[in-house]
Structure 1
Amino acid sequence: MIYRLSIKNYAIIDQLDISFSDNLTIITGETGAGKSIILGALGLILGERADTKALFRQEEKCVIEGSFKIGKYELKEFFRENDIDYDPNTIIRREITTDGRSRAFVNDTPVNLTLLRELGEKLIDIHSQHQTLQINSAAFQLFVVDGFAQHAELLLEYKQKFKQYRKLKVKLEEFIEQSNSGKAETDYIQFQYNELESAKLIDDEQHDLEQEQQTLSHAEEIKRNLNHAHYLLNEGEAPIIVQLKEAISVVASLEKLNDQLNAIGERLKSAQIELKDLSGEVEQLAENTIVNPSRLTEVNERLDLIYRLQQKHRLGSIPELIALMNELGTKLNLFNNLDEEIEQLKIQIGQLAKELSVVAVNISKNRNKAIDEVEKEVTFLLKEVGMPNAVFKIDNTLLPEDQFTQTGIDQIRFLFSANQGYQPIDLSKAASGGELSRLMLAIKGLSAQYSALPTIVFDEIDTGVSGEVARKVGNVMHKYAENMQVITITHLPQIASKGQTHFFVYKENKNGQTSTGVRKLNEDERVREIATMLSGENPGENAILNAKELLLTN
């Protein structure tokens, strides 16, 4: 529960310090005095977004601080998980600087707004007048039933499984889309791959084939010239090797006359040996050079295939063609694997759907059990707030078990009838503003109690009620305050008289500037304030007596 709220430099508030009681606190004041501004400041320390335009003085920062007693509310684990120092008397502070920056602290530990909102939801429920329409939303109606069902762990299990289920479903849809779009090009990729694979390309064959082509294309010329070279070396009228042999003999006959001729003779002998070898090789090459038109045709066809593939794919070598073939093969494998993955995903989704169904059915059973309790409790409270003939029902329509939503397979709908003899119909079509306010009061209070929420704040939830009904609404608020802290902003004296603590909000002028002030009323001041609420400014004796009577009945 909150026991102190300090506000500095916010909206039309210069500085306020309010100490709340732990039961029913009443806040009254003229319209525009700043009651809702106080709630706005409270909202800031509960994680709502800030606006620099809300600064009272633009040259100073705004500081809002709330002190909470949280020892009874099992929040130690939350503080531990978020690395915040736990203190049963926790202080939450929010600062807004002049340049628009906002900082938040819990027990002097800096926290972000997400964490602040998460903590705030565990401490206070602020219900403003416009939020009464929230009762018509399916999400809120389901939230109410789940609060009574008390199955938070089961809901968490379902949400985790559903998140995984949706993730797999999205992945499956993506894979199917990829598969469908891929099939349009798979045939072409397969054709390209088959064409390259059937070519049975070898890394260095192009160079060898081009060399062979050159040889085969000029085989007759090569053979003829080689034979002629062999003829010149070994045959003919004056063979080179024979003449070299004679030269060796001549030089050998002169070696005794000149020592240098020994070296020349040796070199001539080496040349003779070399020429004999060359002659043999030339002869062998000539014999091996065969004119083979059919082989030339084969080589030309093979090279034509290689050149055509290179031109088609705009590549310059066989290794590049082989790399392309491997790449195409990888793509084909991916498409094949994609189909396998699609089948595996379908199996996983089917298994997860079975698990989800089990959890969803258990959640639905819990909700159906809670529905009876909610109907009973709300109907009783509606009688307490002056609606004895009201009928409140909750309709739960089950979706097919394979049509999961984020919250399960239940479609909750509140049905209502305020008058005897009328069947309950959809709440949005059945209730007036005043009836909605009382229904919301009943539901909000019950929900807060079942969720063990420390504090609930009602901001003019009494709209549309008056007289005896207002008194009964006040009685219900007073009853709620027996188990939790209730803070109520009201314009009705019947409700204001039910509080244990009463604050009056007013405007005052200081140094030519209007600001909001708050004071805690003593018994006499409280009598006069309620009398004023009954009859207007300057209440008469009867209004004073009536106010005292209202206060004595509590």
Structure 2
Amino acid sequence: MLTSLSIKNYALIDHFQVQFNQGLTIITGETGAGKSILLGGLSLILGKRADLNSLKNPEKKCVIEAVFDVTNYDLKQLFKTEDLDYEPQTIIRREILPSGKSRAFVNDSPVNLNSLQALSSHLIDIHSQHETLQLVNDDFQFQVIDALAKNASFLTSYKQELTQYKSVQKALTDLQQFKAEAIKEYDYNTFLLNELEEANLVEGELQELEEEYEALQNVEEIEEKLALANQLLNDEQVGALAILAELKQATQKLSTLSVKYETLFQRVSSSLIELDDVFADIETYQETLDSDPSRLQYVNDKLAVINALFKKHFVESISELLVIKNNLSEKVSETENIEGSIVDKEKELQVIEDKLNKLSKTIHDNRNKAIPELKKQLESILSLLGMPNAQFDIRVTYEEAFLGNGKDVLSFLFSANKGGHFNELKKAASGGELSRIMLAIKSILSKYMQLPTIMFDEIDSGVSGEVSNKMGQIMLQMSQTMQVFAITHLPQIAAKGHTHFKVYKEDVNNITTTNLTQLNHDERIIEIAQMLGGIEISNSAIAHAKQLLN
């Protein structure tokens, strides 16, 4: 509920701050006194775009602040969704700066207009005779039926399942599209994969193959050089081993003659041992050296394959080819397994679809049961409001497609006159009739769900005294479970209020300002008497005002 409102520097308002209570609050005032200014200020709280022309003093900023008690509105999830700090006493503030810039705050946190509108729509509902678009909206009409049908929990479950259904349906479509595209590439990817698998690639083998190729390619030259080395080392006359053996004997003799030659002898001995090892290795190489044309051909072919794969895949290493091979393997595997994935996803979709069908049928049946009661209550209330021949033809038709709130298509038809044809509300009802229908619907809804604060803006225009009295009674009844404001020109409605405010203009220092003041009991008598008889108050008007208040 709206607990307080402060408006500074807006239109004709210099500054006022008022406190509001639960129940029915009446706002009256002469035509042109500024009731529309009050609504204009509230509309900024609801997220309406600001207008620089609204500033009373263009050199100062305009500030409008409203405090709402949201304890009973179950809005914690909405606050979380909009990334706002939840406070039971929520403060909404709008500022219009002289520069034209507008700012909005919820509990002192800056918000954009979309977030403000999302929140404020749960806090206050301003309804006038000329604002009945909501009434002819399917979503609102379903909301009315579902309130009586007690469909809230079923609709919550349905919407959760529908969200999951759409997600799985999209995943299935993506799989089917992937399958269609993958099949086109499957043969080519399989060919590339087989080509890479047949190459038997091993990380790091390129260098080994290149070295082996060089060896096999030059086997004759290697054999010739090894033979020459063998001869240089092992020739009986001039071989290095024979000469080094003689050198060893000479240095050994020297070492026996003087200790200083011992080191020389040891060095020659070591060299002979090392050269013996070299000779042994050369002999081993000669024995194992094999001119193998087939191996040379294999290595040459393997290198040709690797280089061809480098060129085909635009890479320069075997490791890159192995990455490509793994990627191709995954693609081929996905394509080969895609049918199983599609079947699994179809089964998952069917399970959700069964749940949706069950929920939507329950919702449909509940709606059908609630419609007669809704018609009965609407027609009864409208009869009290001067529309005794009002009739409704409300039907829900069960369709195949899953819609946002079930599988129903709604037909909400109305006839205002006896023997008249049923038609859509916007075509069959006048503005005044739509206002009374909206009042009837809101009064019914208030019995079944927690509604935001509602402000009726002169929806009583053009109705008779007796009908206005019934309107006032309905508003009073609604105010037992919610906060109701009524801006009215009719004394019969004004007298029903728990509290009564008057909007008035006054001139101070040749400057006109609009103010709002709460009336006490005696002031209410005077105000209602003036509403009954005009500025010149008669004794009978006073008596009638007292009678209405009592």
Shift of 1:380: 1.5
Give ranges in structure 2 of 5+ residues lacking alignment: none
CA distance in 2, matches of 1:21, 1:279: 114
Shift of 1:301: 0.6
For 2:446, the aligned partner's letter is: A
Give the structure 2 partner of residue 523 of structure 1: 525
In the TM superposition, what whole-angstrom CA distance separates every residue of 1:46-90 from its partner, at most 9, and x where no partner exists?
x5457373443452552544586x99x68799999998676xxx6
Structure 2 residue 104 is the aligned partner of structure 1 residue 102:
yes
Percent identity, aligned pairs only? 36
Give the structure 1 partner of residue 488 of structure 2: 490
CA distance in 2, matches of 1:552, 1:256: 152
Give the structure 2 partner of residue 37 of structure 1: 37
Total equivalences in the alignment:
533
User: Counterparts in 2 of 1:143-292, with a 5 A limit?
Assistant: 143-235=143-235, 238-248=238-248, 264=264, 267-292=267-292
CA distance in 2, matches of 1:372, 1:231: 120
CA distance in 1, matches of 2:281, 2:27: 120
Select which of 421, 424, 427 maps to 1:426.
Answer: 424
Give the structure 2 partner of residue 535 of structure 1: none
For 2:477, the aligned partner's letter is: E
Task: Give the TM-score, by structure 2 length.
Answer: 0.81
Structure 2 residue 63 is the aligned partner of structure 1 residue 62:
yes
Shift of 1:138: 0.7
Tell whether the 8 Å contact from 1:50 to 1:96 is kept in structure 2 after alignment. no
CA distance in 1, matches of 2:339, 2:141: 43
Shift of 1:476: 2.9
Tell whether the 8 Å contact from 2:530 to 2:541 is kept in structure 1 after alignment. no
For 2:374, the aligned partner's letter is: V
Give the structure 1 partner of residue 392 of structure 2: 392
Give the structure 2 partner of residue 323 of structure 1: 323
For 2:454, the aligned partner's letter is: I
Label 1:319 to 1:117 Cα distance change in 2 as closer, same or farther (>3 A). closer
Tell whether the 8 Å contact from 1:478 to 1:499 is kept in structure 2 after alignment. no
Shift of 1:408: 1.4
CA distance in 1, matches of 2:6, 2:258: 128
User: Counterparts in 2 of 1:81-100, with a 5 A limit?
Assistant: 94=93, 96=95, 98=97, 100=102
Tell whether the 8 Å contact from 2:127 to 2:454 is kept in structure 1 after alignment. yes
Label 1:36 to 1:146 Cα distance change in 2 as closer, same or farther (>3 A). farther
Label 1:407 to 1:200 Cα distance change in 2 as closer, same or farther (>3 A). same
In the TM superposition, what whole-angstrom CA distance separates every residue of 1:20-65 from its partner, at most 9, and x where no partner exists?
68665543444443212223444556x5457373443452552544
CA distance in 2, matches of 1:307, 1:441: 84
Give the structure 1 partner of residue 299 of structure 2: 299
Q: Give the match's secondary structure for 1:404.
A: strand
For 2:528, the aligned partner's letter is: R
Give the structure 2 partner of residue 364 of structure 1: 364
CA distance in 2, matches of 1:66, 1:257: 119
Shift of 1:502: 5.5
Label 1:5 to 1:242 Cα distance change in 2 as closer, same or farther (>3 A). closer
CA distance in 1, matches of 2:203, 2:524: 102
For 2:9, the aligned partner's letter is: N
Label 1:380 to 1:316 Cα distance change in 2 as closer, same or farther (>3 A). same
Q: Give the match's secondary structure for 1:214.
A: helix
Label 1:282 to 1:42 Cα distance change in 2 as closer, same or farther (>3 A). closer
Give the structure 1 partner of residue 475 of structure 2: 480
Tell whether the 8 Å contact from 2:414 to 2:425 is kept in structure 1 after alignment. yes
CA distance in 2, matches of 1:392, 1:369: 15
For 2:103, the aligned partner's letter is: R
Q: Give the match's secondary structure for 2:351.
A: helix
CA distance in 2, matches of 1:373, 1:163: 31
Q: Give the match's secondary structure for 1:131.
A: coil
CA distance in 2, matches of 1:380, 1:83: 44
CA distance in 1, matches of 2:430, 2:486: 22
Aligned-residue RMSD, C-alpha: 4.1
CA distance in 1, matches of 2:498, 2:244: 139
Give ranges in structure 1 of 5+ residues lacking alignment: 533-537
CA distance in 1, matches of 2:255, 2:9: 126
Tell whether the 8 Å contact from 1:471 to 1:495 is kept in structure 2 after alignment. no
CA distance in 1, matches of 2:266, 2:484: 126
Most deviating of 162-171 and 129-138:
162-171
Give the structure 1 partner of residue 402 of structure 2: 404
Shift of 1:504: 4.2
CA distance in 1, matches of 2:446, 2:352: 34
Shift of 1:223: 1.6
Tell whether the 8 Å contact from 1:502 to 1:526 is kept in structure 2 after alignment. no
Tell whether the 8 Å contact from 2:384 to 2:467 is kept in structure 1 after alignment. yes
CA distance in 2, matches of 1:418, 1:60: 49
Give the structure 2 partner of residue 348 of structure 1: 348
Tell whether the 8 Å contact from 1:233 to 1:241 is kept in structure 2 after alignment. yes
In the TM superposition, what whole-angstrom CA distance separates every residue of 1:427-457 from its partner, at most 9, and x where no partner exists?
2332232332222222222223332547532
Task: Give the TM-score, by structure 1 length.
Answer: 0.80
For 2:163, the aligned partner's letter is: K
CA distance in 1, matches of 2:353, 2:342: 16
Most deviating of 370-379 and 95-104:
95-104
Give the structure 1 partner of residue 459 of structure 2: 461
For 1:160, the aligned partner's letter is: Q
Label 1:275 to 1:437 Cα distance change in 2 as closer, same or farther (>3 A). closer
For 2:415, the aligned partner's letter is: S
For 1:471, the aligned partner's letter is: E
